[in-house]
Structure 1
Amino acid sequence: MEHREIFRIILNVYETCEIRNFPIDCIDVIKKLNIPLFKYSELSDKKQRECYRVSDDAFKLKGKIYYNDAFPYICRQRFTLIHEVGHILLGHIGDTKENDEETNYFASHFLAPRILIHKYGYRDAEQLHEAFGLSYAASNRALLSYKEWFRNISYSANRKPTEPEIQLEHIFFSEQEENSVQIIEKHKKPIRSRRRARIREELTDRSTFMELLNLQYGNFDFGLAESQYLYGNDL
């Protein structure tokens, strides 16, 4: 599926579910889309065991989404839930690498639209984590993707995002800035307990993310990316 069509589907969900704030309430979105949703805790013991064998986070089965309501990593589960929504909305049949890559693209752009990253001036992973509720690994991937998105637009003929992205921007920003819908306070300082939980999640995510960068960019660029990951990312 072309990216423009994925952006159109994302825009349709924002309009249908009246999404106006971030981080997005994924449970609310799923309910408004009338997708059957089940908590592990409300299932029988036998079904719970079966669910845990499939995933300790969330999964889709026959158009229904099951999720572990005791899962400790909320940011990661937010991505997983929208990933499963993507499989349904994109009409995927079967579990293939191509389908998974497409739904990862959908989930990342749904949870952190690149046009809004640009509009709000977010430039590092910490800001994306705070604003959009992504894990640190997902925040860094979104940041790298945003830079590529920005370069592509800069070199395009009309130097504009796609029409669905522009319409999505208009949901949050009217011509009169004072009437625009606000996202969140950009640099709200977290309380100490939140910071401890965030650090634990970052340490868990870091090794996987660094392995990905090393495979993708090689040793030299990996070193640069690692420095950016640890000490801040500049555009």
Structure 2
Amino acid sequence: MIRQPDYDRAATLAYRCLLKLNITRLPVRPLEILRKCRNTVVYTYQQAAEFLHIDEAEFERRYGEADAFTIRGGEQYVVCYREGGNPARLNFTLAHELGHILLQHQEDAVADEAEANCFAGHLLCPEPAVTGKGPEEVAAACYVSRAAALAALGNRTGRGAEATVQKVEKLFEKRC
């Protein structure tokens, strides 16, 4: 049976991440968060190729279909990402990979991808910070693409636990 995405869990975890790290300003920087994770190593594709002693072109040929990917080995994670391209898209992609780690995904299931997208959307575009704003304003403030901003404004799947959202609202009221 195909597992359905648990959007509430993903959204709640995103808000808990904001609270735990006391993130009160936009934009949220998922690369900085990933680098602070005790069980996670982050490499650019170039750094990963050097570490593996292979040519960067060969690394791209083997792994380059995705903008980023995460490898899990026991409790350790390695996140590799492609530098360059659209920086706002990379920001979302890295938040998506962080979602896979924090949600403890172990397979490449459709539900896992949906949950990681939900996590990334709520982490980068927290509801209290984007309510009442237009897509261009959200894209600029949250450092996401216009498509991600539209999704954040129009399709709030997984609002998460009401109490958690209210705590995030209080954090952002102090700063915004």
Q: Please tell me the TM-score bracket, short chain as reference.
A: 0.7 to 0.9
Q: Which amino acid letter does the alignment assign opposite residue 41 of structure 2?
A: P
Q: Which residue of 1 aligns with 2:54?
A: 46
Q: Which residue of 2 aligns with 1:232?
A: none
**1-side partners of 2:22 and 2:59: how far apart?**
31
Matches within 5 A, 1:1-235: 2-34=6-38, 35-42=40-47, 43-44=49-50, 46=54, 48-53=56-61, 54-55=63-64, 57-62=67-72, 63-69=77-83, 71-118=84-131, 121-122=132-133, 124-146=134-156, 162-173=162-173, 180-182=174-176
For residues 70-97 of structure 1, the C-alpha deviation after alignment (integer angstroms, 9 at most, x for no partner) is x121000111111111111111111011
TM-score (norm 1): 0.61
- Higher normalized contact order (CA 8 Å, seq sep 6+, divided by chain length): 2
Q: Percent identity?
A: 25
**2-side partners of 1:14 and 1:30: how far apart?**
13
**2-side partners of 1:47 and 1:162: how far apart?**
49
**1-side partners of 2:68 and 2:20: how far apart?**
23
> How far 1:115 sits from its partner (Å)?
2.7
**1-side partners of 2:97 and 2:28: how far apart?**
15
Q: 2:70 touches 2:97 (CA, 8 Å); kept in 1?
A: yes
Tell me which protein shows more strand as a share of its residues. 2
**2-side partners of 1:23 and 1:88: how far apart?**
21
> How far 1:28 sits from its partner (Å)?
0.9
**2-side partners of 1:78 and 1:86: how far apart?**
12
Structure 1 residues 167 and 67: CA distance shift in structure 2, 3 A: same
For residues 99-147 of structure 1, the C-alpha deviation after alignment (integer angstroms, 9 at most, x for no partner) is 11111111111110123212xx21x21111111111111122222115x
**1-side partners of 2:135 and 2:80: how far apart?**
29
Tell me which protein shows more helix as a share of its residues. 1
**Partner SS for 1:38:** strand
Q: CA RMSD in A?
A: 2.3
**2-side partners of 1:97 and 1:170: how far apart?**
34
